Chain A
């Protein structure tokens, strides 16, 4: 595998479920990001990890919980989501913050 991969590509979950999104980068990068992209809204930065340390949390509700066990993997744990959380969730990585970011294909999440 090359680049940035995300699994699953599609996810449907009820409001009481717990699920996790996975992101893996094969580029040797040191920074990883979670973004939310909703229809007709700008790209929203959710979390930033730099050298495995969380450096940014853009006022994201606690029902979203990130985890970065090593510099190659990033997870987004989801629980008790709301229908308005339905969106495309994108993971990205970069060598350092400020460098160009490389994006995964995204996970299309639908909350019912």
Chain B
């Protein structure tokens, strides 16, 4: 079984400030980890993913995330927030290719950008 916890249902940062969205997971096997972004009334868009190899992964729109096995975390960061980053962000975990449970999503974090 797998699960995801996203700390903070709402995060507010100033434009130009660091963005940090937290994600912790549990998995009985080495996980695959994902971050998705959702703009209002749209589907989810993949930001980045970790499968194996380098633990720091870079994604689209200047986002990156680091897999820390010892902390069971996969936090999402961006050095400088832009107004267009305002959206809902979802962390997800799977048991890898062919995993029977597919993806398990967190409850989401709403990112608010203050001008």
Footprint of B on A, CB under 8 Å? 4, 6, 31, 33, 42-43, 45, 48, 55-56, 88, 90, 92, 94-106, 108
- Which residues of the partner chain A approach B98 to less than 8 Å between Cβ atoms? 96-98
State the Cβ distance, B109 to closest chain A Cβ, in Å: 12
Interface of B is mostly: loop
Is B45's beta carbon under 8 Å from chain A?
A: yes
Is B64's beta carbon under 8 Å from chain A?
A: no
Residues of B within 8 A of A (CB-CB), count: 25
Interface of A is mostly: strand
Can you list 6 A-B pairs with a CB-CB distance of less than 8 A?
A: A31-B102, A42-B107, A97-B102, A98-B95, A98-B103, A99-B94
Bound-state CA distance A43–B107 (Å) is: 7
Which residues of B from 59 to 102 have beta carbons under 8 Å from A?
Answer: 90, 94-102
Q: Is the CB of A98 within 8 A of B43?
A: no
Q: Mark B45-57, 1 if CB is under 8 A from A, else 0.
A: 1100100000000
Using known A-B contacts A42-B105, A43-B105, determine if residue A97 contacts B44 with beta carbons closer than 8 Å.
no
Q: Is the CB of A101 within 8 A of B41?
A: no
State the Cβ distance, B113 to closest chain A Cβ, in Å: 21
Bound-state CA distance A56–B94 (Å) is: 15
Footprint of A on B, CB under 8 Å? 32, 34, 36, 41-46, 49, 90, 94-103, 105-108
- Which residues of the partner chain B approach A55 to less than 8 Å between Cβ atoms? 100
Bound-state CA distance A94–B99 (Å) is: 12
- Which residues of the partner chain A approach B99 to less than 8 Å between Cβ atoms? 97-98
Q: Is the CB of A99 within 8 A of B97?
A: yes
- Which residues of the partner chain B approach A103 to less than 8 Å between Cβ atoms? 36, 43-45
Q: Is the CB of B102 within 8 A of A102?
A: no
Pick the most buried of A48, A90, A101, A104: most chain B CB atoms within 10 A of its CB: A101
Bound-state CA distance A100–B90 (Å) is: 13
Q: Is the CB of B43 within 8 A of A100?
A: no
